Structure 1
């Protein structure tokens, strides 16, 4: 592998990024994981640029016995996309995105979905550039770097010394809709490459490592990970990717729920088992990482954040305006309890729990994955201790989504799932989430408001789903 692109000269990060700029402006906003949709990209700045493979050609990774491939360059980019601020938002330096860019003289038809564009000038002039994760060979280069604990420029490929990574595993990109990118290696490992990255300790690595230390089998233990230290040391290190065991034959909780609903079958036994799995993870996290007591002084900022998010969502989505007062009452009811002296325990949680973050193995065992939290929220907030009911509320909202998908809404189906899930949770945790209705309503409301804003921006056809929950949660007879 080559070293970091030189800081000056024709192949400097500035020259490389300038040559890619017009192509990235057109390509990046169309990606599922791009967070700034609806606002133009006005430019890019380089956080870090690393040449992983020079255009001289790609040699086979050790032990694979391939002949040298056609000319192919591979570049790892951390780029900050500059955009005008959203209406009502504070000025922002721009989100940082992780790109793995391949360069070929011509793109084979199998890589057509990965096309970024044809470079007209600069160090890659005359070449076609593309999202290299679609290409098995560059993806295999990442696994080999993790296996050998490589260091390339500011990139640090690290792994658990107690786990082995076999070489020669074929790579394939998962094309399901997600907010990051995932590559599976030979049905043995799965690499999650984070797309929008921020400096600091990322919970998607921190929490699974802590749970592995507790022996919690509900979450796959990290095998390897990728970090970087930006030039100059101005920022904290970035966590860029995490490699974990691939749960072969496991089924996605969302797909299982939809399948049951489409067939007219209940999902209660699965929901109950999933509640038990969630409680297992919460108990392990409470033991592995610090907990705090939420009294009035700590709760008021939390409630204030909920109220601010509601105000911003109402400003962006006028359909929320008739329900604003009722939704706010869910938060003020929680503040009133705190003012009366009520306290709650807060701990580290999943942060974005829903059916799509749960996998059921062929033996019936449920696992939880993807501990990044809601990417739109600041990293410091995602790492803060929270009441465990925040995760419970997220799962209850997910059952509601499943009940409103693939056909006429079935609120009774969702209610049965919600009850079974809470029952299973109580069997392990020793307390039923429904015994704290004010806290649960506040978190369900906060989640539904987030969903309304998300769907309005990204999937308008789905907007009626969270709006139906808004009607329920804003009702004055809601507990």
Structure 2
């Protein structure tokens, strides 16, 4: 395996004719992938950002790592001008014919170009390709523009059997022998990705709530690093917080004990991040920008979703109340946070301990914004909204379930941090309102059947005089 890696080169696949031959296949296949961000707009072309041979082409097969920029029009309207769009990470395999086990990974058949006649497929589903990635991570290889780093204190065996996870949406993951999980970021941007940055920071702080990165995969392009993937310990037997909450709801069981433990885990993560990385004091001028952004998002959502408009004045009052406090001289602390915290980002081990995962933040936001210090209450608001979502997802409603979870979560957070989020109701209401507005817009666009869930919260928040 390692011999094949050191032999790999980049020059032969960088030829324009390779991308030209893949172009018609990728135009059809890429928009169908769950992690493709540009849905609703056709792909009009591609630019090859980087191409690397992970295995030298043979008479029967080839394996390529590609970074391609997808061009899409500004809007679905006819005649819109195309522009460079998102950059995607692809692992492309080519064979003369696919074995039956790889049939679901089919992309198409090459009709022209240097490899005409080959069958193209998503190679992440091929154990051989997954083995190549693990070996590169294990040896700290450099393959063309790809660099693989690792924590030498953690052992990586090379004989772990890979399997692809099927549940993710914005990225892809491979589990190796119930020992490690490799998360491959699909939409690639230059710079330091918090999905690697923050777990590394937390590992140095000995925070047990976040699995420490074992190895990582980068691309070095134009003197700038792109984070491509992170290998971390796989929490065998761990239960997804969302699925666990729904299971308890289905049985009519109380979840407040788990919610309290989740609050404690969140506070441990926040405390470690606040200790390790710089914090900022948020005063009047900074709050003006934050409130301005919240108000703009509300106005845009109300314009797009008519059902939101009757509640807009009440929701706006949540932001105005926060601005009033800032004008009176109140200040808050901003620090690095998770950025997209909800039940699905938390795992409970068989021993009952909670872990927090997926520090990428909201992928739709610019990387610089995701790395900015923010009030920790933003994470808290996200989790409180997640309890609401779980409660409304139950087939048989359990009265008071979400309220009990919300209270227990805040109490658990206070036990570790010394600060109960409920003691700052204006700040908490503003961030929860901002999150609910985002949810309304998201559900209206992608899952209209779910729209009543955030609208229920919107009605409550619009009528709220300041007490969550």
Count residues in correspondence: 460
The equivalent of 1:174 in structure 2 is 165
CA displacement 1:8-54 (0-9 Å, x = unmatched): xxx43422221111111111111111111111111111111111113
Matches within 5 A, 1:63-74: 71-74=60-63
CA RMSD in angstroms, aligned pairs only: 1.9
Displacement after TM superposition at 1:193 (Å): 0.4
TM-score w.r.t. length of structure 1: 0.92
CA gap of 1:266–1:383, structure 2 versus 1, over 3 A, is: same
The equivalent of 1:134 in structure 2 is 125
Contact 2:321 2:426 in 1 (8 A): yes
- Between 1:45-54 and 1:354-363, the stretch displaced more is 45-54
SS in 1 for 2:375: coil
- Between 1:138-147 and 1:87-96, the stretch displaced more is 87-96
Counterpart selection for 1:203 from 175, 194, 204: 194
Structure 1, unmatched stretches of 5+, are: 58-70
The equivalent of 1:466 in structure 2 is 454
The equivalent of 1:222 in structure 2 is 213
Q: How many Å separate the matches in 1 of 2:103 and 2:43?
A: 24
Structure 2, unmatched stretches of 5+, are: none
Contact 2:73 2:81 in 1 (8 A): no
Counterpart selection for 2:289 from 294, 298, 301: 301
Counterpart selection for 1:331 from 319, 324, 327: 319
- Between 1:417-426 and 1:295-304, the stretch displaced more is 295-304
CA displacement 1:62-107 (0-9 Å, x = unmatched): xxxxxxxxx3211111111111224899996311111111111112
The equivalent of 1:85 in structure 2 is 74
Q: How many Å separate the matches in 2 of 1:426 and 1:183?
A: 36
The equivalent of 2:96 in structure 1 is 105
The equivalent of 2:87 in structure 1 is 96
Asked if 1:287 corresponds to 2:292, the answer is no
SS in 1 for 2:230: strand
CA gap of 1:216–1:124, structure 2 versus 1, over 3 A, is: same
Matches within 5 A, 1:50-65: 50-56=52-58
SS in 1 for 2:178: coil
Displacement after TM superposition at 1:169 (Å): 0.5
Contact 1:104 1:129 in 2 (8 A): yes
CA gap of 1:85–1:316, structure 2 versus 1, over 3 A, is: farther
The equivalent of 1:416 in structure 2 is 404
CA displacement 1:413-440 (0-9 Å, x = unmatched): 1111111111111111111111111111
CA displacement 1:103-127 (0-9 Å, x = unmatched): 1111222222222111111123211
Counterpart selection for 2:40 from 34, 38, 53: 38
The equivalent of 1:366 in structure 2 is 354
Contact 1:350 1:391 in 2 (8 A): yes
Contact 1:214 1:284 in 2 (8 A): yes
Contact 1:13 1:49 in 2 (8 A): no
Q: How many Å separate the matches in 1 of 2:147 and 2:168?
A: 28
CA gap of 1:467–1:367, structure 2 versus 1, over 3 A, is: same
TM-score w.r.t. length of structure 2: 0.94
Asked if 1:183 corresponds to 2:185, the answer is no
